[in-house]
Structure formats: structure tokens, C-alpha cells
Structure 1
Amino acid sequence: MKDDLHGYLRGGRDALLWKLDGLSEYDARRPLTRTATNLLGLVKHAAAMEILYFGVVFTRPFGQELPYVGDAAQTGADMWATADETREEIVGLYRRASFHADTTIGALALDDVGRVPWWGDAAVTLHQVLVHVVAETQRHAGHADIVRELIDGAAGLLPGNDNLPPADEPWWRDHRRRVEQAALDAGNR
């Protein structure tokens, strides 16, 4: 079971990072929703999340302070990249955070217990944390799917396995038209 959960976590990580491929600095950072959701910010947030859940919760220090995490941090500071933070730094942080998390996952049993201070010091098992972080990572990979499609139309699961019909197929145009018509018809009822 641990290997299965860990595999889903790795898959979410890969999908999230893939969404940055080939983008300019502006496109990797630009906010595309009312709440400023952006690709590099999602990666930065995912790094912080893994550091906290697989480090702090199980008393396994990461060794690097994150000024955008904690009680003194500005709300949402982990969800965007400042102009001074490079893509390479954030992706590197995510890779180090993932390695740290992988080490924690490998060292602990699913029923080993940690404490989540930001959940009122709740006791949790590695199993619970893995399920939570897999769900969060996959959720953010889904956000990244939509943001990337808004940027340049790129869509799909992973490079070499996008699990979608080719973007230039007439099917997409017809499908979008069908979906739009259904929305209009429902709105006019």
C-alpha cells in the first residue's frame, strides 16, 4: 500500500513539473485566475507542503528555513514566485523537498505517528499524511493542467502520454461546440 501511495505522489509531482516545460518566465509565473493561481507558485506551494508534512510532522528537519511559510509569513506567500526567485531555485527546492519526503516515507511505517501543529497538534499516521499529500499534489496538478491550457493550449497527463486526442483534430472544435450548446440550452430553460 505504501508503494502504491508513493507512486501516486511521484506521478503528481511529475505532472506538476511537466507543466512548466517550455514556458517563458512570464508564463510560468503569471496569474490566470482571480485568486492568482500560477504554475510556478503551485510548485513552490507543493514544495512547502512536502517539507511541512514529511518534515515538521515527523520531526525530520529539512534543513532550510522557508520565509514564506509559518505564522509570520504573509498569507499566500507560498503560492507565487517573487521576481528574485528563479524557476531553477523553486524547481530545485521542490526536488530537494521530494527527496526529503521520499526519505521520510522510506524510513517510516504507515502506522508511525507524527503531529500536525497547524491541525491543533493532531496525531496522524504516515498513512494519513501520505493520503493527504497525494490528494493535495494531484489537486494542484489538476490546477496546473488548467492553467497551462489557458497559457498555450497544452493539455494532457504527462509528456509522451497526454491521454488526449491530438489538439488539431476537428473533434475538439465539435466537442467544445457541443458543450457550449448544452450550456446555452440549460441556461435558457
Structure 2
Amino acid sequence: MAETTALHETGTTPLTGERADLLAVLGKTRFFLRFTTRDLTDEQAASSPAPSELCLGGLIKHVTGVERSWADFIVEGTGAMKDFDDMTPEDFAARVDEFQLLPGETLAGVLDTYAEVAARTDAMIATVDLDHAWPLPQAPWFQEDAWSTRQVLLHIIAETAQHAGHADIIREAIDGQKTMG
């Protein structure tokens, strides 16, 4: 089996092994998510043509927020996230807004922000201790007490892949275009 390699953020230091594998899979899932928005207008990216309220611009915003908050968790630990019981009505309202392309927001702007967050995460993957674990914030959906950096990165990959699938369905409902096939 060929070993996966990836370039560190400088573009000159090749990474191999697990770090390269994480970067490659994360890069592929990000590509598929971003690709669903190709050639769309802001209005199309804000539309919800499927039987849910999800829109492509909102999915990109959501995945950006998820990746940003989990990257903060990797660096700062549990304090980077609120416990579920400490969330305010404003926090929940912000979460709803995260799934929408709001007035004044553009698809290009959302994609640029996603690229910035992705670059930060990619740089981090090259150097962080993958075995370091932090206690998870208290929330009803966490069954574990702590996650390692590796588990957090796998969660980011899973979240991105899941929403890339949602995005593909939404894109097909917009204009019949598919990410693959």
C-alpha cells in the first residue's frame, strides 16, 4: 500500500503517515462540500429547495463554525466550548443563523472564511499531539468523558462528510447538478 503524503502549510515539508492521511481525507471531504456550490448565485446558495430548511450557504457556514470551534478545543481545551446547560437563548439563535445565508452575506465570503479556517486546521494537524485529550463539554450527546485530538479531527471529518451529502441533495434540487455521478 502506498503511503499518503501531504504538504505542510509552507508547501515544502512533506507529511507522511497518519497526519497525511488525516489531511487527505479532510481535504477530500471539504472539496466535495465546496464543489456543491460551483457556479451558484448568492440567491441559489441561500435557497432551501429540499424538504428541509437547509441551504448550501448555511451548510458551509455551519461546517466552518464546527471546524473553528473544534480547532479551538484542540488548542484551548474544554474552556473553548460552553456546556449545553450554560448556553443562552442568544447562543441558540446564533446556531439557527449559522444554517442560513443571511442578508449581506455572500457565498464567496462564506467560502473565503471556510478556506481560512481550513488553513488553520491544516497547519495545526502538522504539529499537534494527536494523543492529547481534553475533557468534553457537558452535553447530552457526548457519551465519552474526553476526546483526543485524533478523535476531534475524525469528528470534523465526519461532520464535513455528512454535510457534503446533505449539500449534494440540495444542489441536485436546485438545478439537477450532482457532486459525483
Choose which of 30, 33, 36 in structure 2 pairs with 1:19: 36
- CA–CA distance in 2 between the matches of 1:111 and 1:46? 24
For residues 65-86 of structure 1, what are the alpha-carbon distances to aligned partners after superposition, in whole Å with 9 as ceiling and x for unaligned?
xxxxx64320422111111112
Name the aligned partner's letter for residue 135 of structure 1: A
Partner of residue 160, structure 1: none
Name the aligned partner's letter for residue 83 of structure 1: P
Partner of residue 6, structure 2: none
- CA–CA distance in 2 between the matches of 1:31 and 1:98? 25
SS in 2 for 1:21: coil
Do structure 1's residue 110 and structure 2's residue 127 form an aligned pair? no
TM-score for both structures, normalised by structure 2: 0.74
Cα 1:100–1:86 change in 2 (3 A) is same
Aligned pairs, how many? 149
**Two-structure CA RMSD over aligned residues (Å):** 2.1
- Does the Cα contact within 8 Å between 1:109 and 1:126 map onto a contact in 2? yes
Do structure 1's residue 48 and structure 2's residue 68 form an aligned pair? no
- Does the Cα contact within 8 Å between 1:55 and 1:101 map onto a contact in 2? no
Identical amino acids, percent of aligned pairs: 28
- CA–CA distance in 2 between the matches of 1:24 and 1:3? 34
Choose which of 49, 72, 76 in structure 2 pairs with 1:32: 49
- CA–CA distance in 1 between the matches of 2:35 and 2:176? 14
Partner of residue 113, structure 2: 93
Deviation at 1:114, TM superposition (A): 3.0
- Does the Cα contact within 8 Å between 2:45 and 2:101 map onto a contact in 1? no
Do structure 1's residue 149 and structure 2's residue 150 form an aligned pair? no
Do structure 1's residue 3 and structure 2's residue 20 form an aligned pair? yes
Partner of residue 125, structure 1: 148
Deviation at 1:118, TM superposition (A): 5.2
